Amino acid sequence: MTMLGVAFVPQLPPERLRAIAHTADEAGLEELWLWEDCFRESGIACAAAALAWTGRLRVGVGLLPVPLRNVALTAMELASLHRMFPDRVRVGVGHGEQTWMAQVGGRVESPMTLLREYVTALRALLRGEEVTVSGRYVHLDRVALDWPPPSAPEVYVGGVGPRTLRLAAEVGDGTILTGGTPPDGVRDTAGRAIVYVHAATGPDAAERLEAERIRWGYDSLTGRAVSGTADAVAEGVQRWVDAGADTVVLQPTPDDPDPEGFVRFVARDVRPLVR
C-alpha cells in the first residue's frame, strides 16, 4: 500500500514542529517528512524531537547532504534513532545543493564518487560491520558501531539527474524524488520511490501554487502539483501512485496559512480517498 505523508517545510521555524507533529500523530497521518536545507534546520535533531513528541507517527528525513556530514557520524545518529524508535524512521541521503556545499567548503570535484562511497560505507556500518576503506573521499579505519540497529535499516538516495537515479538504484534501497517530479519521473526509477508533490488547498491555493511555480522556475505546474478539494487532491495523488510511487509526500507551500489544518486535511480527508 502506498504511504501518504506531509512535508514540514524548512521555511517554518523549528519551534513550529512540535504542534505539527502532535497534529499529525493525533490525526492519523502515516508519515511526516523533514528536510535538512542549509542553513535552516538539522534533519536529525528535528527528527529526534518529532519522534519523541509522538507515539506512532513515522518520521522521514529527505534528505541529508553527504558533503556536510562525516559518514561515521551519520551512521551513529541513524543507528541511535532506529534503536530508540524502531520501525518509525526513514532517512535518505544525497548530493545536497552544490552552492550551499561550496559555502561550507564541502563541495567536491566528483559528487557521484562521494555519494557512491558514502552510501556503501553507511549501509555497511548500519549492518554492524567493521569498515576500513580508503576511497577518494571516504576514509575509515576499522570503524564499527558499538550499537548498530538490530536489523539493517533502509537507506534511500535522493536524485534528480539520470546518472544519480541510476546510482540510487544501484547502491540504495530506494529513491527520493524532489517536488516537481511528474508521474513519468517515478516510472523512470528502479526500486522503491518516495516522491514529493507540491500541494495546496483553501481559497487561495491557486495563488500560492503560482508563487511556487515562479520560485522553482517551472514552465507549468501541470503534472507537478495537486490542489483543491480532498477529492481533487486524492485524484491527483493517484497519478503518482499509479506510476509506482511507494510513498507520496505532499509538500505544502511555505506560506500555507494553517499548516496544522493542512496535516489534518491530508490525514482525515485525502488519505481515505487514495487507493
Instruction: For residue range 162-193, list pLDDT tens digits in order.
Output: 999 999 999 999 999 999 999 999 988 878 99
Judge whether 253 and 209 are in contact, CB under 8 Å: yes
In the chain, CATH 3.20.20.30 covers 58-176
Q: Could you read off the pLDDT of 63-87 as tens digits, one per residue?
A: 999 999 999 999 999 999 999 999 9
Judge whether 63 and 84 are in contact, CB under 8 Å: no
Looking at residue 138, its amino acid is: V
Interhelix angle for 111-126 vs 162-171, to 10°?
Answer: 20
Mean pLDDT of 215-229: 96
Cell digits for 256?
Answer: 500555507
Task: Report the distance separating Cα 159 and Cα 18, nearest Å.
Answer: 29
Task: Report the distance separating Cα 128 and Cα 148, nearest Å.
Answer: 5
Check residue 200 and give its pLDDT: 98
The chain-wide mean pLDDT, for the chain, equals 97
Q: Could you read off the pLDDT of 102-158 as tens digits, one per residue?
A: 999 999 999 999 999 999 999 999 999 999 999 999 999 999 999 999 999 999 999
Check residue 109 and give its pLDDT: 98
Task: Report the distance separating Cα 60 and Cα 11, nearest Å.
Answer: 17
Q: What percent of the chain has pLDDT over 70?
A: 100
Task: Report the distance separating Cα 167 and Cα 259, nearest Å.
Answer: 35
Superfamily of domain 58-176: Luciferase-like domain (3.20.20.30)
Task: Report the distance separating Cα 207 and Cα 213, nearest Å.
Answer: 10
Mean pLDDT of 196-213: 97
Check residue 168 and give its pLDDT: 96
